[in-house]
Amino acid sequence: MTHRKHSHAFGTITLTVTACLLLWGFLLPAWAGDATQVEPLALRKIMQELGRNMQAITGAISQEEWVQVVQLAPKVAAHPEPPLTEKMRILAYLGADATKFRNFDAQTHEAALAMKLAAASSDGKAVIQSFALSVPAGVGAYQPDRRLPMAQQCQGRCGEVQAIATAAT
CA separation for the pair 133, 110 (Å, rounded): 9
Mean pLDDT highest for which of 73-82, 114-123, 158-167?
114-123
Over residues 28-37, the mean pLDDT reads 50
Q: What is the pLDDT of residue 65?
A: 95
| CB-based burial, 16-33: b 16+ in 10 Å, e otherwise | eeeeeeeeeeeeeeeeee
Per-residue pLDDT tens over the stretch 132-143: 888 765 554 544
| Residue predicted with more confidence, 54 or 3 | 54
Give one DSSP letter per residue of 94-121, joined into a string: HGGGHHHHHHHHHHHHHHHHHHHHHHHT
Confidence of residue 41 (pLDDT cuts 50, 70, 90): confident
- Mean pLDDT computed over every residue of the chain: 72
Q: What is the pLDDT of residue 147?
A: 42
| Residue predicted with more confidence, 68 or 25 | 68
pTM score, whole prediction: 0.59
Over residues 21-34, the mean pLDDT reads 49
CA separation for the pair 106, 85 (Å, rounded): 21
Residue 151 in contact with residue 43, Cβ under 8 Å?
no
| Residue predicted with more confidence, 37 or 60 | 60
| Residue predicted with more confidence, 102 or 24 | 102
H helices of 37-143, in order, are 42-62, 66-77, 84-94, 98-120, 124-140
CA separation for the pair 48, 37 (Å, rounded): 21
Residue 54 in contact with residue 138, Cβ under 8 Å?
yes
Per-residue pLDDT tens over the stretch 141-157: 544 444 434 444 444 44
| Residue predicted with more confidence, 128 or 7 | 128
Over residues 93-100, the mean pLDDT reads 82
Over residues 46-70, the mean pLDDT reads 92
| Residue predicted with more confidence, 137 or 63 | 63
